[in-house]
Amino acid sequence: MSEAVVPHTTGKPNAAAPGWFRRTLDGDLFYSFRRSRITMIAAGVTLLFFLVAIFAPLLSVQNPFDPAQLQLMNSRISPLWTADGQSPFLLGTDEQGRDVLSAILYGLRISLLVGVLGVVLSGALGILLGLTAGYFGGAIDGLIMRIADVQLSFPAILIALLINGVAKSVFGNKLDETSMLAVLVFAIGLSFWVQYARTVRGSVLVEKNKDYVAAAQLIGLPAPVIMLRHVLPNTTGPILVIATINLALAIITEATLSFLGSGMPETMPSLGTLIRIGNGYLFAGEWWIVAFPGIALAALILSINLLGDWLRDALNPKLR
Amino acid sequence: MSVGRSLFAATLAGALALTVSPASSQTLRYANQGELKSLDPYTLNESTTSAHLGHVYEGLVARGKDLKIIPALAESWETPEPTRWRFHLRKGVKFHNGDPFTADDVVFSAERVRAKGSNFQSRVPADAKVIKVDDYTVDFVLSSPNPILTALWATWYIMDKKWAEANDAVAPTPAAATTPSYASLHENGTGAFMIESHQPGVKTVFKPNPNWWRKPEHNLKEIVFTPIANPATRVAALLSGEVDVIEPVPVQDIERVKASPNATVLTGPELRTIFVGMDQLRDELLYSNVKGKNPFKDVRVREAVYRAIDIELIKNRVMRGLSTPSALMVAPEIFASKDFTRPKFDPDAAKKLLADAGYAEGFEVTMDCPNDRYVNDAAICQAIVGMLARINIKVDLLAQPKAQYFAKVLKPGGYKTSLFMLGWTPDTLDSQNVLHDIMGCRDDPKDPNRGEANLAGYCNNQFDELADKVLVEPDATKRNELIKQAFEVSMKDWAYVPLHQQALAWGVSKKVKLTQRADNMVMLYWATKEGE
């Protein structure tokens, strides 16, 4: 092998004032990360899932969402290492000739996209309502928190199903695959805001009687600025924890909706849709159609949850 | 403590004894992939629904185990002149609520079945006069002879006039109705079973009618019907003994069920033909990116679609060999002819045809498809979407449960479709029904029922003339020649794309004996179940 010339990086200017990267590496959080092997594995797996999802078009042998690329001739091929396996279908194909591995990669894209956007939407909504409720108190607080209580008494999946159903009956046939994605994001976003709102409100109630808030009020800063610039940064820890756990929940919810048949259609399958399709072929012995998407979903959820658990412990001062 | 334990054991033993008592052995549990939406017998002209309702309602005639027409509410009939049919009604028959069955009910049902919103309007010709001669005699006076009038009537169920009037159910419930009517939630028939409870989409419980005029052949004290849409769940329910009969068994699971110790599969050829249709009537398609014109009006585009579909591949892969590709819109049991072969699958020719028609770049269109009605319906549609994509026709697939699908695409919903898949068993078990209902011109002023299920809007006057001759031709050989000519005309027009006849596959517990009819109607009044 040829020797590559690697330029020396020591002696760079950031040695004087440590950048954010250095500070992170030196911080408690990263120390606790380095100490937990399982967290490192979980983070690696999560990162891997994100990467393969982003680079899915480069990694897959076909675009499973394009019906012109599916060959019915290639349907129901078993995984490559079994007797009837055929290249290039590493994990086999489904009954439409869709390569299972490609379908998982593209399905991951949908799952992660819906999950991340759902978390962003529910986070934004929850933080806004939580800040407002906590900061202003009184009737506004009462109203927002009672709505939250009502919503909290239903499982989130029911709310998501309701929103999904209403959107379907309102838009009807106009819903194509892309707008179905938006509907899923909304359904998930609107069903998970409560936890953010309650947590943020709690933190705000603690923070708002502190001196720095009083000082900000004294110099005449408007309420939105105080809320966003001064109070919000002190609530980021709990929000980060909830966001991580909720990412897993949002992905699961999307998979559940799709599994129940009210999420992504079979022509543009997400992981949940793939599991539903494959479920019908289990008795026939064609296990790979359901098994691999199931394993992928389980691994993704598990690693995100492990990350969330670690984050919760690491950010909890009482556990240090 | 020991007293408590033995008490518990005794209770448990008692409970176990109760569950294995012979009384429960006569409850038959039946699961179908689709739900029973409405109990109104004029809402949806679909075999599964008609089969369910055939347990509680009866027509003037019925079909026997061999599909022959047999007397039911009419004891006998004659045709004193070619255009006058006289029916002698059975005396002493009572509806489930105790009302006696008389000629008034037949006259009422004939009006109701032809009213707006009914999906069975072609059962009784629009211009036929229904005359009550006396309480137990009814005359049907037709404007032109129809030798196969009664062939359609096994699924034209007779309703109680008094009950309908008392419950605001005189008008039929349209399939597209969004609020249920009284008649869609309650029944009052004369049939073998009465519906004890009906939760649409969840569960329907049938109890035997103690006053049924026929001697029951079944030994059931209850039928519990539940829809199970998921094929794997349905098979699991049969294998575990949770249900006794399922329809259909998914093609991929037939071997698995046959190998199981407590259930088996009844298979046979089905009379239903599955086909694809293209809206060729509207000047602009409802769901397409082509504006101002309708590509399917061009016969070349229709031929291209036909030639782009590889039916043998669908047979081998999607249907796992359990289908018979068809050149005709009827099954060979209904009309057998060696003169018809399916035009060859040829995607290159299809592309060329599209280019000639001016669609070299293709176009977009939405396809409507049921996903709980026919064997592997959604999978067939997906395969077709892929095949059409290869000739640059981009198809958005809208696969829905049959309740929503039929409400949208059938006549009461306004034929709202541009491209669809449908299956059809002629109720008459005769080609004429297909020539008239599926392929006849819509909006014929002389015969408003013509083309009632012609979702594609195919229309050719020469074809309709042949169909009319078929209706009145008494000589079998000449009649077959006319049918052949009619099919030739429609094939030259590339009117429809017939796909195949699917195979019947009923999953039946080994405790249950039951008769399988080739029209795929599960009639449990012929079922018996052994005790446990």
Q: State pLDDT tens for residues B102-117.
A: 999 999 999 999 999 9
Of A114, A50, A46, which Cα lies nearest the Cα of A252?
A114
> A95 touching B, CB under 8 A?
yes
Would you say B479 and B470 are in contact if contact means Cβ atoms under 8 Å apart? yes
Q: What is the pLDDT of residue B163?
A: 97
- Nearest CA-CA distance, residue B259 and chain A, Å: 12
Q: How many CB atoms neighbour CB A279 within 10 A?
A: 17
Q: From the DSSP assignment, how many helices (H) and strands (E) are in chain A?
A: 14, 0
Counting Cα atoms < 13 Å in the Cβ hemisphere of B510 gives 11
B-chain residue closest to A278, CA distance: B232
Lowest-confidence region among A313-317, B7-11, B219-223, B360-364: B7-11
Q: Which two tokens stand for residue B83?
A: 């255009």
- Most A-contacting residue of B233, B249, B252, B287 (CB-CB within 10 A), to test interface: B252
End-to-end CA distance of chain A: 48
Residues of B in contact with A170 (CB under 8 A): none
Please tell me whether residue B121 adopts helix, strand or coil conformation.
helix
Q: What is the tens place of the pLDDT at every residue in A182-221?
A: 888 998 998 899 999 999 999 889 888 889 988 998 999 9
Q: What is the tens place of the pLDDT at every residue in B159-208?
A: 999 999 999 999 999 988 888 899 999 999 999 999 999 999 999 999 99
Q: Which two tokens stand for residue B523?
A: 């009639």
Would you say A185 and A121 are in contact if contact means Cβ atoms under 8 Å apart? yes
Of A219, A189, A197, which Cα lies nearest the Cα of A140?
A197
The distance from CA A146 to its chain's CA centroid, rounded to whole angstroms, is 27
Beta bridge partners of B277: B420, B496
Would you say B342 and B328 are in contact if contact means Cβ atoms under 8 Å apart? no
Residue A3 has pLDDT above 50, yes or no: no
Q: What is the tens place of the pLDDT at every residue in A83-135?
A: 888 888 999 999 899 999 999 999 999 999 999 999 999 999 999 999 999 98
Would you say A248 and A312 are in contact if contact means Cβ atoms under 8 Å apart? no
> B252 touching A, CB under 8 A?
yes
Q: How many CB atoms neighbour CB B25 within 10 A?
A: 16
> A266 touching B, CB under 8 A?
yes
Indicate yes or no: CB of A284 within 8 angstroms of CB of B231: no
Q: What is the tens place of the pLDDT at every residue in A248-266?
A: 999 999 999 999 888 888 8
Q: How many CB atoms neighbour CB B162 within 10 A?
A: 16
Beta bridge partners of B197: B205
Residue A2 has pLDDT above 60, yes or no: no
Residues of B in contact with A280 (CB under 8 A): 230-232, 250, 252
Residue A317 has pLDDT above 80, yes or no: no
Burial class from Cβ neighbours inside 10 Å (0-12, 13-18, 19+) for residue B13 reads exposed
Q: What is the pLDDT of residue B475?
A: 87
Distance CA(B304)–CA(B25), nearest Å, equals 55
| ipTM surpasses cut 0.85 | no
Q: Which two tokens stand for residue A65?
A: 């969402």
- Domain annotation for chain A: domains and CATH numbers: 30-319 (1.10.3720.10)
Would you say B334 and B429 are in contact if contact means Cβ atoms under 8 Å apart? yes
Type of residue at B513? K
Would you say B448 and B435 are in contact if contact means Cβ atoms under 8 Å apart? no
Task: Give the closest of A96, A281, A285 to B383, CB-based.
Answer: A96
Of B491, B494, B489, which Cα lies nearest the Cα of B465?
B489
Task: Give the closest of A66, A68, A96 to B379, CB-based.
Answer: A96
